[in-house]
Structure 1
Amino acid sequence: MDRGHLFLGKFLLALLLGLLAARPAMADDAPQAPRCLANAPADVAVGTLLNANVQWHCATRPSGLAKLPVDSEAERVLVRFAISVADPAPLFFTTRLGTFDALTLAVRTDEQGWTSRTLSTAEMTSQPTGPTILANLPETAGKPREVIAIIDRPSHAPTVLNAQLHEADPARTAQAQRTMVLIAIVLGMVLLPILFDLTFYNVLRQSFLPWHMAMSASFGLLLFTRSGLINIIAPVGIEAWRFLMIAGLTAAIASSLMFMRSFIEPGKLAPRIAAVIPWVVWMCIILTGLHALSIPLLRPVSSTLHAVGVVVPFALIVVVILQSVWRGSRAGFFILIGWVPIIASILGRILTNLTPLALPSDMLTAFYIGMMTEMVATAMAVGYRFMKLKKERDLARAEAVALDTLSSSDPLTGLGNRRAIEPQFEQLRREGFNTIALIDLDEFKHVNDEFGHAIGDDVLKAVAIALRPDRDTMAVRLGGEEFMLLLRGAKAAERAERMRQAIPVIVAREVAALDRIVTASMGVISIQRNTRFEIAFEELYAKVDRLLYEAKAQGRNRTVKEKLSAFVAHVRREAANAA
């Protein structure tokens, strides 16, 4: 393990310990939980209700509230807090983020009886310490002995069951402030992979990278809203806050499923499961969207729609991860590591909200830990996959280049072949290669017949040395004993002539077994500078080939040249004998 990984491990461990230490931040002032719940008619006046004989249902501990025979989503729900002599005087009321028609907080003291105030959802204060809202209790002359919260038409049960009283604002404790700093760091870590994904996507256009970016952004939005950090950085109304938190959860689930579908290796996920994922994603978006919109007509089933819209895709996520791991997916293994804490926190929340086993809990600490592990594990998985795909791509490119090189080069001489020039002829002309020379060895057949093909091959290799290409010269072997030069720059034709005349000297030096001089004939065409006209390679080749055979017909070992111009009707030809 290198120093970078060791440092990252230590940093994550320190952050984890910090979050665990900050877990009781909400409980620094020993919040008081209710013991009794009741339902009451919505049309009864608050004053009458406070002095009436309400049928209370009480539990010995807060975790027993969910088991009471009380409808926590009824038209009106009453929550009662008993304040003992030893308890500190509460000043604040908090509960889980949700909506309601009205909240009446009533405080009874021995000195002045009942004092109450009624608030709407919009009058509650958003808390930066989690998905909670806060209201001040009515001011009283003496110490409260009893507090009753009357909640009209709560949007869901946690708004009732998570009610608490505090002697101080939970968001203003020192430990709460430290917690928010740690959460801000986690948020930065969750969003950081987006930068790497953008870099990776510029190199490899893989579909899983945009989905991973969407997943990171969605988890960032969910963490930003669910932690309450939004109320410090960009405060919004409670309705908007609730909507954004539901949207963040929906986007996180949907993008996670689509990321897994595109990221897990082929064959590691059953085709039927892969096919059903988009449908489940749309179901999740529709059902949770209906819940987020708080449509009055759907109020009786809104919480059920939300639960189905979350539980079903969450169950599918678990199935996808387990099946991919079972089938040996390396990507699935990374995803499993990252998702274990998230699965634990979401599963705990689902169980506590849908069953009467315990008080509903957001399991925020497990959720934050899950954010970190998910970020690290999936980022490592994406990085591993990126490097693997890049290596495969680079290898494929190298093989393609090698094949292209083999297909465009002559294996005997090492020069290029016709494919090295013809496909890019127009581009070469634009780069200034306006002189073409066609060279053919004189009476080369006699060399092969008298000395053998091995000596003939040595002669061809020696010719390649004489025609050595450079920055302004391209040399190719067209086949047999025929070679072509493309030249640019000043005195290109003269340079081609010097290379032709060097052939006998270099062949004699390189092929000692040959007792005869090997000469060459050449045809040369020069296109005048600044001349712009289209001419195909085949047409130019045919012209220079005729010049070559003119040189052969004039006695071999010579050059015939021609200059082309788009504006001159005739051409100028000249023959040059060998020196």
Structure 2
Amino acid sequence: MQAQSDGPRYPTCLANAEPQIPIRTLLAGPIDWHCTDDPGRLKQLTVNAEAERVLVRFSIAAGAEQPRYFVSRLGEFASLTLAVGEGGGNWQVRSLSTDDVKGMPTEPSIIARLPSTRQASGQYVVIIDRPSHAPLVINSQLQDSDPSQDPAVQHGLLLIAILLGMVLLPIVFDITFYRVLRETFLAWHIAMAASFGLLLSVRSGIINALFDISIETWRVLLIMGLTVSIGSAMMFMRSFIEPGKLSGWALRAIPWIAVGSIILTGLHALSIPALRDVSTTLHMIGVMVPYLMLTFVILQAAWRRSRAGLYVFIGWLPLMTSSWGGIVTNFMPGVRPDDMLTAFYIGMLTEMIATAMGVGDRFMTLKRERDVARAEVSELDELSNSDPLTGLLNRRAIDARFDELRAEGYDTFAVVDLDHFKRVNDTHGHDTGDAVLRTVASILSQCPQCLAFRFGGEEFLLLMKGDQSEARAEAVRQSIPVRIAREVDGLDHMVTASIGLVVVPQGALPNSGFADIYRHADRLLYEAKETGRNRMVSERVRSFRRRSSDRRAAA
């Protein structure tokens, strides 16, 4: 057998044994070892690495420094026995539970100190009862010193802490974005970033430097952290990638796959005795199926030229490469299972950067689309509040803003009506009539401290504030025929205007609405028409009795 003299010492032999046999009796008796010179081929040996009891043997060369620590992949076990041979059939034995081993702060591994011996024979046997999965056996190794105390490892902790902060940082921006644009993909990106932060902290082992947790809790967090990360990533991509870029069946299947994955891996994490024989299979299905779906979604979005999918593809390529690489090493003959942690860290970094950029890009795209939609709605609303011929506001606009305008000091209501306007249309045509109406609208719009409205036909409303509103309204009325004669060609008579004006000071009529004041001004306009037209009738009131409209006769 080839033995190692420095660095990690890997197993050379595996065996199964009945769990009821006492440890020292087992060590003293014959053991059916299955051996190989290549540690990468241990998983090909005809030994069940998930049996009730599994024995792992290490052979250390004579004269080589004797190892002091046992290190292996994070996992659950009923009992871990470390035995060091002293020669002559004597063994130093140390039996441990999961509470007696320590978690590594920089990788998903456990570590335990080997028994002390004065005369090591180079024979080391590790007996694992009820290992939760094969990598706990296959990835066993002996070390001369505690790897977690290596200065390089301590520096690695700082880098992992920085990476963890970067992975969690997008949550802050997502929350800010979500307050502006309540899109589902932002909520799922928050969930994905949080679950990735959990996965990074447990898979790297840094959680052991931050919290005092048991091996079993760490194992459950690692299993569920991976599953929740994959599930939230699928749900994020489902809502993030543009409509039409993913197959309908995939969109429908993703939530079911996510839920099913959590259930299957949850059963594995609980270590239910009745499910021990199928627990690893459940876990494999619970991880592989969503991994395959996630890979399909990323590739299909990129193939269909999704803009969001491009960011996802770039960001996830290193992460998926490391993930699939780790999976392949668990099945490839002659290769020891490898967590590919360095590639995993690089993948986490690229995924965080690219996905955050994609989220920002998608946010800005959706925000622009929303702003355009709002502008269109605002434009439509403005059009619905304005007269298309003159551009003045219409009756709908003043109904919606009456209380606001009154509070701003508008206290004078002047109803303006053109005299004998029907004659203009009948004699000169509607084009000339429209030109007259536009000229009147221009005159009213130029009145300072006034708002002009067209109420239909030849009727306008001038809403005024400030001093001397009656005199200003009269000046506007007198300017109408002059401006029309100057600006509208083809007329053979003067087009005059009549005004009914009412001044309602602030607080004078607190319970009156626009309709009440308009009816009063309209009645005054009727009086102006009845008394000869081309004049203004005004009134300053403190209160008036509501009455039915005295609508004027034909103008």
Q: Does the alignment reach a TM-score above 0.5?
A: yes
Alignment of 1:332-481 (within 5 A): 332-354=309-331, 356-448=333-425, 453=430, 455-468=432-445, 472-481=449-458
Equivalent position of 2:551 in the other structure: none
> 1:287 and 2:257 equivalent?
no
Closer/same/farther in 2, CA of residues 538 and 530 from structure 1, 3 Å limit: closer
Q: 1:197 aligns with which of 174, 199, 215?
A: 174
Closer/same/farther in 2, CA of residues 37 and 210 from structure 1, 3 Å limit: same
Does the 8 A contact of 1:111 with 1:141 survive in 2? no
CA RMSD of aligned residues (A): 2.8
Equivalent position of 2:52 in the other structure: 75
Does the 8 A contact of 1:89 with 1:144 survive in 2? no
> 1:136 and 2:136 equivalent?
no
Does the 8 A contact of 1:469 with 1:475 survive in 2? no
> 1:183 and 2:135 equivalent?
no
Q: Structure 1 residue 211: deviation in Å? A: 0.9
The residue type paired with residue 128 of structure 2 is: I
> 1:121 and 2:93 equivalent?
no
Q: Structure 1 residue 68: deviation in Å? A: 0.9
TM-score if structure 1 supplies the norm length?
A: 0.86
Closer/same/farther in 2, CA of residues 437 and 60 from structure 1, 3 Å limit: same
- What SS does the corresponding residue of 1:133 show, helix, strand or coil? strand
Closer/same/farther in 2, CA of residues 365 and 444 from structure 1, 3 Å limit: same
Unaligned runs of 5+ in 1: 1-26, 572-579
The residue type paired with residue 163 of structure 1 is: S
- What SS does the corresponding residue of 2:315 show, helix, strand or coil? helix
Equivalent position of 1:520 in the other structure: 497
Separation in structure 2 between the aligned mates of residue 492 and residue 133 of structure 1, nearest angstrom: 90
Alignment of 1:17-166 (within 5 A): 30-110=7-87, 113-143=90-120, 145-166=122-143
Separation in structure 2 between the aligned mates of residue 396 and residue 322 of structure 1, nearest angstrom: 32
Separation in structure 2 between the aligned mates of residue 564 and residue 161 of structure 1, nearest angstrom: 99
User: What CA deviation, in whole Å up to 9, does each residue of 1:319-370 have, x standing for no partner?
Assistant: 2223333333333333222222222222222233355452222111221122
Equivalent position of 2:553 in the other structure: none
Separation in structure 1 between the aligned mates of residue 505 and residue 437 of structure 2, nearest angstrom: 32
Query: Which sits farther off after the overlay, 539-548 or 150-159?
Result: 539-548
> 1:276 and 2:253 equivalent?
yes
Alignment of 1:549-560 (within 5 A): 549-560=526-537
User: What CA deviation, in whole Å up to 9, does each residue of 1:300-324 have, x standing for no partner?
Assistant: 2221111111111111112222333
User: What CA deviation, in whole Å up to 9, does each residue of 1:226-284 have, x standing for no partner?
Assistant: 00111122332212111111221111111111112112222222212211111111101
Does the 8 A contact of 2:516 with 2:546 survive in 1? no
Separation in structure 2 between the aligned mates of residue 336 and residue 295 of structure 1, nearest angstrom: 38
Separation in structure 2 between the aligned mates of residue 461 and residue 368 of structure 1, nearest angstrom: 70
Separation in structure 2 between the aligned mates of residue 189 and residue 440 of structure 1, nearest angstrom: 70
Q: 2:277 aligns with which of 294, 300, 309?
A: 300
Does the 8 A contact of 1:96 with 1:133 survive in 2? yes
Closer/same/farther in 2, CA of residues 74 and 172 from structure 1, 3 Å limit: same
User: What CA deviation, in whole Å up to 9, does each residue of 1:397-441 have, x standing for no partner?
Assistant: 222222333332234433222232223334434544443221112
The residue type paired with residue 331 of structure 1 is: A
Separation in structure 1 between the aligned mates of residue 371 and residue 378 of structure 2, nearest angstrom: 10
The residue type paired with residue 182 of structure 1 is: L
Closer/same/farther in 2, CA of residues 505 and 481 from structure 1, 3 Å limit: same
Q: 1:169 aligns with which of 141, 146, 159?
A: 146
Q: Structure 1 residue 121: deviation in Å? A: 0.2
Q: Percent identity?
A: 54
The residue type paired with residue 64 of structure 1 is: R
Q: Structure 1 residue 95: deviation in Å? A: 0.9
Closer/same/farther in 2, CA of residues 108 and 484 from structure 1, 3 Å limit: same
- What SS does the corresponding residue of 2:197 show, helix, strand or coil? helix
Does the 8 A contact of 1:264 with 1:324 survive in 2? yes
User: What CA deviation, in whole Å up to 9, does each residue of 1:22-62 have, x standing for no partner?
Assistant: xxxxx9x7211111111111111111122221111111111
- What SS does the corresponding residue of 1:467 show, helix, strand or coil? helix
Does the 8 A contact of 1:352 with 1:361 survive in 2? yes
Equivalent position of 1:20 in the other structure: none
Query: Which sits farther off after the overlay, 162-171 or 482-491?
Result: 482-491
Alignment size in residue pairs? 543
Q: Structure 1 residue 70: deviation in Å? A: 1.0
Separation in structure 1 between the aligned mates of residue 233 and residue 150 of structure 2, nearest angstrom: 35
The residue type paired with residue 402 of structure 1 is: E
Query: Which sits farther off after the overlay, 78-87 or 418-427?
Result: 418-427
Does the 8 A contact of 2:73 with 2:140 survive in 1? yes
- What SS does the corresponding residue of 1:421 show, helix, strand or coil? helix
Equivalent position of 1:7 in the other structure: none
Does the 8 A contact of 1:112 with 1:141 survive in 2? no
Separation in structure 1 between the aligned mates of residue 35 and residue 546 of structure 2, nearest angstrom: 114
Separation in structure 1 between the aligned mates of residue 274 and residue 113 of structure 2, nearest angstrom: 32
Does the 8 A contact of 1:128 with 1:227 survive in 2? yes
> 1:211 and 2:184 equivalent?
no
The residue type paired with residue 114 of structure 1 is: W
Separation in structure 2 between the aligned mates of residue 222 and residue 469 of structure 1, nearest angstrom: 68
Does the 8 A contact of 2:238 with 2:251 survive in 1? yes
Does the 8 A contact of 1:473 with 1:485 survive in 2? yes
Q: 1:264 aligns with which of 231, 236, 241?
A: 241
The residue type paired with residue 151 of structure 1 is: I
Separation in structure 2 between the aligned mates of residue 489 and residue 85 of structure 1, nearest angstrom: 108
Does the 8 A contact of 1:35 with 1:80 survive in 2? yes
- What SS does the corresponding residue of 1:105 show, helix, strand or coil? strand
Does the 8 A contact of 2:503 with 2:540 survive in 1? yes
Q: 1:248 aligns with which of 221, 225, 245?
A: 225
Closer/same/farther in 2, CA of residues 407 and 512 from structure 1, 3 Å limit: same
Query: Which sits farther off after the overlay, 419-428 or 311-320?
Result: 419-428
Closer/same/farther in 2, CA of residues 209 and 144 from structure 1, 3 Å limit: farther
- What SS does the corresponding residue of 2:537 show, helix, strand or coil? strand
Unaligned runs of 5+ in 2: 548-555
Separation in structure 1 between the aligned mates of residue 463 and residue 487 of structure 2, nearest angstrom: 25
- What SS does the corresponding residue of 1:475 show, helix, strand or coil? strand
